[in-house]
């Protein structure tokens, strides 16, 4: 099969750190072009914006959208309408209605829309999901605390409306929770700390609950210096589970548990993207996005 000729839109931190190496390491793909105003990749044709790439004579099949969420919708819609398969970075869009519309446009175009949650591909997640599937949840706590200066240097978009603030990383924890917990859960309260010079929160305390009344608490903070914490602690009627390092490490009843080697989050994302394109299928999981939107809705 011919490789999927793929263009990356928005050559910034995540494109450089993860997408380009993962894409180039996977023979199912070929990095054909980039669309980036300041970025680009040596030896690969670059166009400032997707419109100019589409107007060029460079032929391609797919785009990986690695821009900030404020512009995801417009770029994804344009690509889908031009018959390109789309791999969309998290958070998927600025508003939930935009994601619904992308699903509709993708279906009408008959192409693949892969709306990604990279943290769901962390090594420990699938084992945790299976372990939890036969147990009753007693309580859960998320501690997702990182240093914004270290992980998001110069990213002014993250503080602007639609940039999600601390929910930019926090949505990763929620994407894991919604993948591994067998039952639905909903936001009950959210305390959002928004600096006076920002549109979006620097920290948030969110309480979720299942229909059965089990509480899931979450602390998100962008002001963590020193060791960084991306942990989920879960207690059940038959033991406890801890996912740490963003879901890549798993402990059960306090002891390290074996997790499968899936090659890493982004290599696994591109493996899945190739599979979806081959099957003419799409994958969209709007739940984590709805939960973050709900935290903003009820947030104080």
* 264: contact with ligand NAP by CB under 6 A: no
Cβ 254 to ligand NAP, closest distance in Å?
A: 30
With binding defined as CB under 6 A, does residue 68 bind ligand NAP? yes
Contact between 148 and ligand NAP by CB under 6 A: the answer reads no
Q: What is the Cα–Cα distance from 241 to 247, expressed in whole angstroms?
A: 11
Q: Which of 6, 26, 36, 178 binds ligand NAP (CB under 6 A)?
A: 36
- The pair phi, psi for residue 30, each rounded to 5°, is -135, 130
Exposed/middle/buried for residue 163 (C-beta within 10 Å: 0-12, 13-18, 19+):
buried
Distance CA 83, CA 131 (A): 40
Answer yes or no whether residue 11 interacts with ligand NAP by CB under 6 A: yes
Residue 163 touches ligand NAP, criterion: CB under 6 A: no
Using CB under 6 A, which of the segments 5-13, 78-86, 228-236, 274-282 binds ligand NAP? 5-13
CA dihedral 98, 103, 20, 122 (to 10 degrees): 90
Residue 174 in contact with residue 291, Cβ under 8 Å? yes
160 binds ligand NAP (CB under 6 A): no
Task: For residues 59 and 32, give the distance between their C-alpha atoms in angstroms, rounded to a whole number.
Answer: 8
Q: Which stretch binds ligand NAP (CB under 6 A): 60-68, 104-112, 129-137, 203-211?
A: 60-68
Q: Kindly state whether residue 89 participates in binding ligand NAP, applying the rule CB under 6 A.
A: yes
Tokens of 252: 């059960």
Is 13 labeled as catalytic in the residue annotation?
no
Candidates 127-135, 150-158, 182-190, 232-240 — which segment interacts with ligand NAP by CB under 6 A? 150-158
Contacts of 149 (CB under 8 A, 6+ apart): none
Q: 46-47 and 29-35: which strand pairing? A: parallel
Round to whole Å and give the CA distance between 146 and 167.
Answer: 11
Cβ at position 161, least distance to ligand NAP in Å? 12
Residue 265 interacts with ligand NAP (CB under 6 A)? no
CA angle 117, 23, 50 (to 5 degrees): 80
Shortest CB 83 distance to ligand NAP, Å: 22
* Residue 263 to residue 260: CA distance in whole angstroms: 9
Q: How many residues bind ligand NAP (CB under 6 A)?
A: 23
Site for ligand NAP in 13-32 (CB under 6 A): 13-15
Contact by Cβ (8 Å): 18, 26: no
Cis geometry, peptide bond prior to residue 91 (ω within 30 degrees of 0): yes
149 binds ligand NAP (CB under 6 A): no
The answer to whether 151 contacts ligand NAP (rule: CB under 6 A) is yes
Residue 168 near ligand NAP by CB under 6 A: yes
- Tell me the window of 65-73, 141-149, 206-214, 236-244 that interacts with ligand NAP (CB under 6 A): 65-73
**Catalytic residue, candidates 13, 38, 84, 90:** 90
Residue 38 in contact with ligand NAP, rule: CB under 6 A:
yes
Are 75 and 65 in contact, with CB atoms under 8 Å apart? yes
Q: Is 69 in the site for ligand NAP (CB under 6 A)?
A: yes
10, 124, 165, 247: which one contacts ligand NAP (CB under 6 A)? 10
Kindly list the residues in this chain that would bind ligand NAP in the complex (CB under 6 A). 10-15, 36-39, 66-71, 89-90, 118, 151, 155, 157, 168
- Residues labelled catalytic: 90
């Amino acid at each position: 099969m011919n490789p999927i000729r793929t263009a990356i839109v928005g050559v910034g931190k995540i494109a450089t750190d993860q997408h380009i190496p993962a894409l180039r390491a996977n023979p199912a793909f070929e990095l054909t072009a980039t669309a980036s105003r300041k970025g680009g990749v040596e030896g690969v044709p670059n166009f400032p914006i997707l419109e100019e790439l589409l107007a060029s004579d460079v032929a391609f099949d797919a785009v990986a959208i690695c821009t900030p969420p404020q512009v995801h919708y417009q770029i994804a819609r344009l690509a889908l309408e031009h018959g390109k398969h789309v791999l969309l970075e998290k958070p998927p869009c600025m508003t939930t209605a935009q994601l619904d519309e992308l699903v509709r446009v993708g279906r009408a175009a008959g192409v693949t829309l892969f709306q990604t949650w990279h943290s769901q591909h962390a090594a420990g997640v699938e084992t945790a999901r299976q372990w939890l599937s036969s147990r009753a949840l007693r309580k859960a706590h998320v501690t997702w605390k990182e240093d914004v200066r270290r992980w998001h240097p110069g990213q002014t978009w993250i503080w602007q409306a639609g940039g999600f603030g601390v929910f930019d990383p926090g949505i990763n924890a929620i994407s894991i929770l919604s993948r591994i917990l067998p039952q639905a859960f909903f936001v009950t309260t959210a305390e959002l700390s928004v600096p006076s010079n920002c549109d979006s929160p620097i920290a948030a305390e969110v309480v979720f609950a299942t229909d059965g009344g089990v509480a899931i608490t979450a602390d998100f903070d962008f002001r963590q210096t020193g060791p960084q914490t991306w942990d989920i602690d879960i207690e059940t009627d038959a033991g406890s589970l801890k996912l740490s390092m963003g879901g890549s490490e798993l402990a059960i009843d306090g002891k390290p548990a074996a997790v499968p080697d899936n090659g890493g989050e982004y290599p696994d994302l591109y493996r899945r993207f190739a599979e979806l394109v081959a099957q003419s299928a799409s994958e969209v999981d709007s739940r984590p996005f709805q939960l973050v939107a709900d935290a903003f809705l009820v947030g104080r």
